Chains A and B, each alone.
Chain A
Amino acid sequence: MKPPSLGAVLLGFIPFVATCFSVALWDRVYPIVLGLPFNFFWLILWLLLTPVCMWGAYRLEVTRASGDGRGQGGLR
């Protein structure tokens, strides 16, 4: 099985850093943003930003797949 491209993996890694590993940095009530405690605001923001990252990864993978199709004489 052909692994995904490095660029696409790195784009997928961004949401993991932002919402998982960095929890100690954003798990706090202040500053309150748009009426929400900061930790809520941050995670809701990433519900919206994650599709942006994955859209980038999608573009990369689709371009690569069509490029490969030509290179290997359209094996699929």
Chain B
Amino acid sequence: MNASFVALTIISVIVAVGSVVGFLARFHHKMDLEQWTVGGRGFGLMLVWLLMAGEIFTTFTFLGASGWAYSRGGPVLYILGYSPLIYVVSFYILPPIWEVGQKHGLQTQADFFQVRYGSTYLGAFVALIGVLCLIPYVQVQLTGLGLIVEVASYGLIPRVPAMIAACVLVAAFVFVSGVRGVAWVSIIKDFLLLFAAIFIGIAIPRIYFGGITSMFAALVHANPTHLVMPGATKDLGHAWYISTVLMISLTFYMWPQYFAASYTARSSRVLRRNAVIMPLYAIAMPLMFIVGFSALLVLPGLSNGDLSLLTIVRKTFPAWLLGVVGGAGALTAMVPAAIQLLTGATLYAKNLFRPILAPGMTDQQVARLARIMVLILTVGALFFAIFTSPSLVSLLLLGSAGVAQLFPGVVLGLYWKRVTTSGIFAGMITGIAIALFLMLTGRNPYLGLNAGFVALCFNFGVTGLVSLLTTVGVTGFDEPFPAIIASSAEEGTPIA
């Protein structure tokens, strides 16, 4: 049996088992919109933890963390810097987001804006931003998956058929089982990923250098500036680090899929406990860096740093282990892609299509449209992944700077009665315009600061200023407002 066959068989088995678990998750649950999007708000600590960990550890962190360690060095520490801090922030913002969600039957991030500001158009605008930012994120997952399967099959399976096969599976289990399917596949994925990370993170420096200590000693000797900022880059220094870590940690839960994941929790206490323990999961991250650093010493001069992890695993270990790492990597792409597709489809059907084009739709019809949208978005992301390969990372950066601009609307919406719909609109448009301008004209970092952070500061300023100059409509979640969401549900499912 040749090596590529062994590795490929193991990858296929892992992906197949993961997908079957995804399908089985629907048992004993009637898949209405509430069950499909937010799991009936019944997830306990364990499933919420799995879902959130599952969607946060993406291919970008799997391949990208080792890739940045390889090609950029010290600046990769920003990942380790923001990892615990996003959960610190989630401790304060997710419980109130959950509470208003429970009270008003919210299922998406755009629902939150629609109800808080009493504006269907603001909700639709937020949904539009969400969908536009999610597509490149799905695309990154698919491209990563294609690379993983290509390298792990020793080039036997080109990336395009691999991406298509994975897309069919992902779309199918999202279509059938919704968010519950995603959470259950995460169990297998997290277990495999932790095993793979711990094993290769310890074994690789041990095999080549005798241990992590001697690997770092060799790297410090060979390249003394690689391990501190700005490492191998010119402009990623301390100001960039602080602004990037601040922006990501504050606005991470503005990604619509992470925002909506909080609605799956059974209680706000589950979310708080989750925030306390989640930083421990990031312990796998430094091991990815260690693999990247080892690869820099063992295999210098790779053209694509993102391939450093897979290349050194392929060089070092037997085919079956490459298969396990490849399978873990493939699921690491599929789980986040699944939740991103589900969120994008729900946002489109519920917050863009229904309010703007077909206000009379029932919840059942929205659920049907959302499922069809999963298939359409999958084809769209697949199309981009196959036909536009360059600068994926820059697309993703654009996406995260884009969703970051939703942060003032959420935080001020929760805690400031004086904030107005016009203020939020003006701030978001300003923030997005500045982020787009700086990033598309190659000004990121700008004056040493993260461009998304600069845009967010302007966003806050404009939101505050315009809010003070305009009259307040809805002042918070406590006052009665026209029940926009309930009105279009007609006699549909009792949501709250």
Residue ranges of A at the interface with B (Cβ–Cβ < 8 Å): 1, 3-4, 8-9, 12, 15-16, 19-21, 23-24, 27-29, 32, 34-37, 39-40, 43-44, 46-48, 50-51, 53-55, 57-58, 61-62
Contacts and interface: CB of A to CB of B under 8 A. Distances in A.
B37 to A, nearest CB: 23
A10 to B, nearest CB: 12
B61 to A, nearest CB: 14
A39 B283 CA distance: 15
A43 B87 contact: no
Nearest to A3: B415
Nearest to B225: A29
B100 interface: yes
B231 to A, nearest CB: 10
Nearest to A22: B242
B220 interface: yes
A43 B420 CA distance: 39
Given A1-B414, A12-B92, A35 B216 contact: yes
7 shortest interchain CB distances as A-B pairs = A35-B213, A50-B84, A43-B80, A54-B276, A50-B279, A1-B414, A20-B245
Contacts of A57: 91
Given A1-B415, A27-B228, A27-B238, A50 B77 contact: no
A5 B483 CA distance: 31
B30 interface: no
B279 A39 contact: no
A57 B87 CA distance: 12
B415 to A, nearest CB: 6
B227 interface: yes
Given A15-B85, A47-B83, 14 more contacts: A12-B89, A23-B242, A29-B220, A35-B211, A35-B212, A37-B227, A40-B80, A48-B280, A51-B276, A51-B277, A51-B279, A58-B91, A61-B272, A62-B272
Contacts of A29: 220, 224, 227-228
A23 B283 contact: no
A4 B87 CA distance: 15
B74 interface: yes
B283 A44 contact: yes
A28 B228 contact: yes
B81 A19 contact: yes
B242 A58 contact: no
Interface residues of B, number: 47
A15 B88 contact: yes
A40 B292 CA distance: 14
A24 to B, nearest CB: 5
Contacts of B77: 27, 39-40, 43
A39 B227 CA distance: 9
Contacts of B106: none
Interface string B81-107: 101110111011000100110000000
A37 B280 contact: no
B85 A16 contact: yes
B476 interface: yes
Nearest to A13: B88
A27 B269 contact: no
B286 A16 contact: no
B251 to A, nearest CB: 14
B382 to A, nearest CB: 36
17 contacts: A1-B415, A4-B92, A12-B91, A16-B85, A16-B249, A20-B81, A20-B85, A23-B229, A27-B74, A35-B212, A40-B80, A43-B81, A44-B80, A44-B283, A47-B83, A54-B276, A62-B269
A55 B275 CA distance: 9
Contact of A39 (B74, B224, B277): B74
Nearest to B96: A1
Contacts of A50: 84-85, 87-88, 279
A51 to B, nearest CB: 5
A39 B293 CA distance: 15
A9 B275 CA distance: 14
Contacts of B220: 29, 37
Contacts of A44: 80, 283, 286
Among A3, A20, A27, max chain B CB count under 10 A is at: A20
B477 interface: yes
B282 A47 contact: yes
A63 to B, nearest CB: 12
A57 to B, nearest CB: 6
B273 interface: yes
Nearest to A16: B85
Contacts of B88: 12, 15-16, 50, 53-54
B165 to A, nearest CB: 36
Interface in B250-300: 269, 272-273, 275-277, 279-280, 282-283, 286, 289
A58 B476 CA distance: 25
Contacts of A23: 81, 229, 238, 241-242
Contacts of A36: 212-213, 216
B318 to A, nearest CB: 28
B80 A47 contact: yes
Nearest to B280: A51
